[in-house]
Amino acid sequence: MNERITIDTATAARLTGIDGSTITRRIKSGRLHAEVIPGSAGQGGISYRIPLDALPAEAQIRYWEQREHDVMAATADEEAFDLDAYKARRGEDGVKELLNRQQAVLQVIGLRDRAGKGLTEAINGVAERHGMSGATLRRLEERYRKQGLAGLTRSGRSDKGESRSMCPEARRRICADYLDAGLLKANTILDRLFQFPEPDACGHCPYNPESMEHANLQLTDLADAFPACGEAGGGLIAPTNRHAVNRVIAQISDEEKDYMRRGRKAWEARYMMKGIRKKPDQVNEGWFGDHHQFDLFVLDERGRPVRPWLTAWYDIGSGMLVGWCISTNPNSGTITEALVRGIAKKKNSPVFGAPVWCYMDNGKDYRSRHFEGDEETEYWMHRDPELMQQMYLKLTGASVMQTLRIKAVHAKAYHGWAKPVERFFRTLEERYCRQLRGYCGGKPEDRAENFDRSLRAWVEKGELMTMDEFVDVFQNEILPAYNQHPHEGYGGETPAQRYARLPKARFEEFSWALLSEVRMQEAVRVVTPQGIKFRGRIYWDEALIHLATQRVVIKFNNCEMDEITVRRITDGGFICEAAVREAFQYVGEDEETIARHVSMQKRQETEVRQRIAARTGRRIGRRASGNLYHEAVDETAAGNITSLEAETTARRRGERRKATADAATRTELDDYFYQLGLQGLNSGR
C-alpha cells in the first residue's frame, strides 16, 4: 500500500458521485491533479490518471472498500454503512479520521496475509504511524472484520447509547427516573431497578409485541418510540453498574433535562423560541418598571450592612433610566415615587414627561388600588387637547395611573425575560457595581471566598459605603456612565443621544404641585372633636372646627407622616393641611396653651350660634357643652397641566412648613424684643 495508486476518470466519477465531464473540467482548470497520458483513447487522443490521494477522503474510503470487499464478503455480521450520513454527522475531520483507521487496518490485514516474521513489531509500527496504540489497532481490525466500516466508528452501531446489557424497558425506566423532579442520582436509579423485581415484567412491557400496553401505544403518535423488542419474554434485563446508567443518561439532551429537572420557567428562559420586538420611534411611549436588589452591601442609617433596593422605570425607546429611587423596603410607595419623579422636570436633566403605557410584572405592589386602580385607562382615546385639563382635575378617588392617564400593561406571570429592564439590571451589576467594595454577587455561590469575614472587617473598619455615599455614586457616576455608553441594541447610539434625538410621545408638562398630590395615597376618615385619627396619631387644623362627625378624604405620603392633606369627600376640594396634634398633659399643662384651646372652643361655639341665628332669625340661649432616596425635582416648575386645588395644597403646605421652621428657630431673645415692641405700642396709645 506504499505505492501511489492512480485511477482513470470513470473510476473517479464513480467514487465521488460526479459525472466524468465534470471530472475532466476540474482537471483542465487545475482544481484536480492528474497525470496526462497522450496517445490514448479519449477526446483528442488524451486520457488522464488521477492519484487516489487527490480525491476526497470519502472517495478513498469507497475505493478501499471495493478493493477489499472480498475480505468482508464472508462476514455475516457486516453492517450497512452510510458514508454520506456519517460525513453529515461528523464533518470532514471525521471522514479523514475514518480513512486513517481504514488505511491502518488494511495494512494490518496485508501483513497478516503475508504472515512473515516480526508481525507484532510490524503492527505496532503501523499503529504508531497512524497515531494509535497497537492494542487499539488490533481492536479496530477485529471490529472491521465483523462489521466493516461501521466497526471503525464509535457511532456506527444503530443502537448507539443503548447498552447491550439492558433491554429497552430498562432504558425507559432509567430515563423516567432521571427526568423525575426528585433529581435522582445514577446509583439511586440503579438501585430502583432491582428494588421491586417483577417476575412478569415482559407481560406489561410497552416494547413487548404481545402485551396490551404495546398494542395500545401503536394506536397513538408514540408508536415509533416503542418498537417491538426482539428479546421479549426474558424478563427485565437491567445493567449491573452505574456506568451503564450514565451512558443512557448521556443520551438525554440538555433541553429535556432542564425542562423536567429545573422546570418550565427555566426551559422557557433558555430554550423557548422568542420573537424580536421593534423598539418605539418615540421616547416616553413605553416604560418598563421593576424592583431590583443590588448585589452590594452598604451601611444603613443604623450602621448595619444591608443590600439596598432600586425601584426603576426604564424607557424602552431610548434605553434611559428615566425614574428611580433607592430604599431598603421597596413597595407601592417607592413605585409611585419613582414614577412621578421620572415624569417631573428635574434639575440638570432633560428627562421628563409621562409615558403612554407602563409595562410591569404582576406583583402586589404594581396591582395595588392606589397605583393602578380597579379599571383600565385608555389614554390614547382622549387625545383632544381641550379635554386634557379636565382629565387631571380629579384628585380623589382615582389611582396614580388613572389620574395621569397611563395605560397599565402587565407581564405574563413568570416571564421576567420579557422585560428589557432585566437586561439593564444585569448591565448595572456586571459593568459598574462589581467594581465597588461590598459587591457580593447575585447568588451565594458567586461570592468570593471568606466574603462574610471580609464584610465584617469592612464594617468594623468603616470601609463600607453608607447608603448616602452609594446613592451619590449611583447618581453622579454610574448613571452618567451608563447613559453615555453606546448600546448595540440601538445601533451604537448612547441612551442620552437617543433620548435627545427622538420626539416625545406625549405633550403634557406636569407641575410638581400636581405630581406631589398624585404621589400621595388616600383614605376616608371621620373628623372627631379632637381631630382626625390616623395610624395612631391625631391630626388637627383650625379649618376642622366645624367638621366634626363629617367624612373627609385624607391624602398622605408614607415617607412624610408629620402632616396630611384634608379634602372634601364630595368634590375633592381642599380643606386644610393638618399637622400632628400634641396631647395635653393631665396635670401641669402650660396655662397659655390651655388658654388658647379654651379661646378656640369659645370661638367655635360663637360661630355656631351665629349661623343658627342667621338661619332661623331667633337667638338661642347658651347651652353647656421616612429612609427613602430619590432624584431632586424642580418644585417650582409650573407646567401646562395642573389643578387649582393642587396649587392651593402646595401653597398651604409650604406656608405651614415655613411657620413650623420659624417657630423651631425662634429664641428667647426674639420673644424679649417682641414683648418690648408690644409695650411700646401700648405706651403710645
In single-letter form, the type of residue at position 404 comes to L
Q: Is the pLDDT of residue 621 over 70?
A: no
Q: Strands, E, within 207-332: which ranges?
A: 286-293, 298-299, 305-306, 309-315, 321-327
Asked, for residue 665, whether it belongs to a domain, the answer is no
Same-domain pairing of 81 and 49 = yes
Same-domain pairing of 223 and 362 = no
390 within 8 A of 641, measured Cβ to Cβ:
no
What single string gives the DSSP state of each residue in 317-352? TT--EEEEEEESS--HHHHHHHHHHHHS-BTT----
pLDDT digits (tens, 9 = 90+) for 447-497: 877 888 999 999 999 899 999 999 999 999 999 999 999 987 788 899 999
Same-domain pairing of 403 and 335 = yes
The domain that contains 595 carries what CATH number? 2.30.30.130
Q: What is the dihedral of CA 627, 512, 542, 585, to 10 degrees?
A: 10
Average pLDDT over residues 165-174: 85
Q: What are phi and psi of 567, to 5 degrees?
A: -130, 155
Asked, for residue 555, whether it belongs to a domain, the answer is yes
How many domains is the chain partitioned into structurally? 4
Q: Which domain holds residue 258?
A: 168-270
Helical (H) or strand (E) element with 539? strand 537-540
pLDDT digits (tens, 9 = 90+) for 240-291: 788 888 888 888 888 888 888 888 877 877 777 765 567 788 999 999 988 9
Tell me the three cell numbers of residue 322.
428615566
Among 214, 244, 270, the domain boundary falls at: 270
Average pLDDT over residues 32-58: 73
506 within 8 A of 355, measured Cβ to Cβ:
yes
Same-domain pairing of 263 and 349 = no
Same-domain pairing of 409 and 471 = yes
What single string gives the DSSP state of each residue in 443-490? SGGGSPTTHHHHHHHHHHHT-SPBHHHHHHHIIIIIHHHHHTS--GGG
pTM, whole model, 2 decimals? 0.52
Measure the CA–CA gap between 389 and 379, rounded to whole angstroms.
13
pLDDT digits (tens, 9 = 90+) for 297-316: 999 888 899 999 999 999 99
Same-domain pairing of 477 and 403 = yes
Same-domain pairing of 441 and 393 = yes
- Confidence band for 115, pLDDT divided at 50, 70 and 90: low
Instruction: Report the residue count for the chain.
Output: 685
In single-letter form, the type of residue at position 401 comes to M
Residues facing 624 on adjacent strands: none
652 within 8 A of 574, measured Cβ to Cβ:
yes
